[in-house]
Amino acid sequence: MDVLRRLFEQHFQSPPERVMPLQGQLGGSGRVIVRLAGAGHTAVGILYSVREENVAFLEFSRHFRRHGLPVPEIYAEDLSHGAYLEEDLGNTTLFEFLSANRSGHEIAPEVVEAYRKVVAVLPRFQVEAGRDLNYKVCYPRASFDRQSIAWDLNYFKYYFLRLAGIPFNEQAFEVDFTRLTKFLLGADHDYFLYRDFQSRNIMLCDGHPWFVDYQGGRKGALQYDIASLLFDGKADLPPDLRQQLLDHYLDCLADSVGLKRDAFMEYYYAFVYVRILQALGAYGFRGFYERKPHFLESVPYALKNLRWLAEHVRLPIALPALLDALERMSSSEKLQQSAAPSTGLTVRIFSFSFHHSMPADESGNGGGFVFDARCLPNPGREEQFRSLTGRDAPVIEYLDRQENVHQFLSHAISLIDASVANYRQRGFSSLMVSFGCTGGQHRSVFLAEQLAKHLLGVNGIEVVVRHIELENLGLLGEAK
């Protein structure tokens, strides 16, 4: 982290006071992503060892900003250490905004409007900014060519089908893949292809979309990126909304390039197929091969999209072996069991005072983690905080300014995350985490609330929070 601290100090003329991990943004990329804050400034720092990918991201970012596109400003870089510092776009992704504002297939109008803004910007990346982009820095390929397509299809075949135990005929698959590749390459592919244009790579800031994670971009066809967004697995957009957004995209695209709708739609659903297969390959690699089971939770959504395609779309080419394998996937009992979300893990989080006994473990599992927060600065020693709790804004702001509080919480969360992943994989039903401090009113309450916020929304986990001392003192009213 020292290199990121140095870059922050060089850019803002002041050292960072806090460095906070942004674990939710790691995904499957292997990047280390942190937020640095100090002297009224914040920035996001990235550490990543693949120099070519870093170069592509930095070059693309500066190019897109010259075209007035909403991407993060690059503040500083040190490629020799795989580090760069960029603008902080906040915490809300399009996916999180969607998840918080939907009930089943009922999606709030403000979410639909956010998606409309997103698809309206996409042609500017593809056409306007794509015209004079330096494609020489693309990694690993300068275009979505025959080799790129082969990698994606084989990724699906070997890391998903084979590891999921779905039988297939190797030679028949090669015939289908050759036919599909030849067809895809018939589409006009002289545009910028974002490559991973999906809801988790779009940030919402003041109601407007900002775009990240385009380092895998290259030259390619228009159809791929809009297919990525509209058939984004866990986003699970209903078919009528997908069609509405596709129509809006095509209207916006017509202002940028003279492409007829029939010519676009001739290839569109073939690109939908190849994007879903690529995503399944990634789920299989991370889930089956690397044994990270939460990646497999996206599989049912991909299968749902494939079933919709099978029922509503007839491709202009024959792919009998592939379609047969997709049918086998839908009926695979092993795959359904592997892809089922983990259920039944309850994480019970407590705050307490060391003046009294530690919380009792009612599950019979032995008590889990107990963290002693008495080593941290104590707001209770200051008169202005004495009557408040760790749920109140002034106390939260005070503790949020203490770097050692963030270091303590970061280490605790790393241990807890590892246990949560292991417990879910082994089918355990309960994990207990307790934070103690002197009075059980400030530090322990703050830490318990922060951990609960970190775990809320994770599929397959129920979070229960109890503040023992606040219950005893009758201090569990609304936070101030």
Question: In the chain, what are the domain boundaries?
Answer: 2-86, 94-339, 345-473
What pLDDT does 21 receive? 76
221 — pLDDT class (breaks 50, 70, 90): very high
Domain 94-339 homologous superfamily, CATH: Aminoglycoside phosphotransferase (APH), C-terminal lobe (3.90.1200.10)
Question: pLDDT tens digits, residue range 77-98?
Answer: 999 999 999 999 998 999 989 9
Task: State yes or no: pLDDT of 480 exceeds 70.
Answer: no
pTM score, whole prediction: 0.73
Helices 320-330 & 170-184, crossing angle to 10 degrees?
110
307-346 pLDDT per residue, tens: 999 999 999 999 999 999 999 998 887 787 666 655 568 8
pLDDT of 245 > 80? The answer is: yes
Q: Confidence band (pLDDT; 50, 70, 90) for 26?
A: very low
- Alpha-carbon radius of gyration of the chain: 25
Closest to 200 (Cα-Cα) out of 172, 243, 234: 234
The answer to whether 432 touches 371, Cβ cutoff 8 Å, is: no
The pairing of beta strand 218-220 with beta strand 369-372 = unpaired
Mean pLDDT of the chain: 91
Superfamily grouping for domain 2-86: Phosphorylase Kinase; domain 1 (3.30.200.20)
Among residues 453, 452, 434, the alpha carbon closest in space to that of 444 is found at: 434
Tally the C-alpha atoms within 13 A of residue 143's C-alpha that lie toward its C-beta. Answer: 12
pLDDT above 90 covers a percentage of the chain that reads 75
**For residue 287, which of 155, 164, 175, 109 has the smallest C-alpha distance?**
164
Q: What's the CA gap between 228 and 439, in Å, rounded?
A: 51
Model confidence band, residue 297 (pLDDT cutoffs 50, 70, 90): confident
Please give the C-alpha separations between residue 35 and each of 44, 276, 429, in angstroms, as whole numbers: 5, 32, 33
The answer to whether residues 77 and 105 touch, using CB atoms and an 8 Å cutoff, is no
Q: Does residue 389 register a pLDDT over 60?
A: yes
Task: Take residue 67 and report the two structure tokens written for it.
Answer: 């075209």
- 85 phi and psi angles, rounded to 5 deg: -120, 130
The per-residue pLDDT for 105 is 84
Can you name the residues that pair with 204 across neighbouring β-strands? 209
Token pair, residue 342, equals 């983990």
pLDDT of residue 24: 45
pLDDT of residue 471 exceeding 90: no
Residue 23: pLDDT above 70?
Answer: no
pLDDT band at 28 (very low <50, low <70, confident <90, very high): low
pLDDT of residue 366: 65
When pLDDT is cut at 50, 70 and 90, the band that residue 427 belongs to is confident
Instruction: Examine the pLDDT at 477 and tell me if it is beyond 70.
Output: no
Banded model confidence at residue 363, pLDDT cuts 50, 70, 90? low
How high is the pLDDT of residue 332? 86
Range of lowest pLDDT (266-275, 328-337, 407-416):
328-337
Same fold across 2-86 and 94-339: no
Q: Is a pLDDT exceeding 50 seen at residue 25?
A: no
**Residue 62 above 80 pLDDT?**
yes
